Amino acid sequence: PPYNLVLHTAPLKEQVRARSVTRPREDPSGCDGLHRGHGRRGRCADGLSPQIEDDAWDRVLDTNLTGAFRTTRRALKGMLRARYGRVVNVASVVGPHANPGQANYAASKAGLIGMTKTVAAEVARRGITVNAVAPGYVETEMLNGLNGNLLDAVPAYAERAAAHAAARAMVG
Active site residues: 105
Q: Are 53 and 106 in contact (CB under 8 A)?
A: no
44: helix, strand or coil: coil
CA dist., res. 25 & res. 5, Å (int): 11
Q: Are 56 and 45 in contact (CB under 8 A)?
A: yes
Q: Are 156 and 93 in contact (CB under 8 A)?
A: yes
- Whats the size of the chain, residue-wise? 172
Q: At what angle do helices 103-123 and 67-82 cross, to 10 degrees?
A: 10
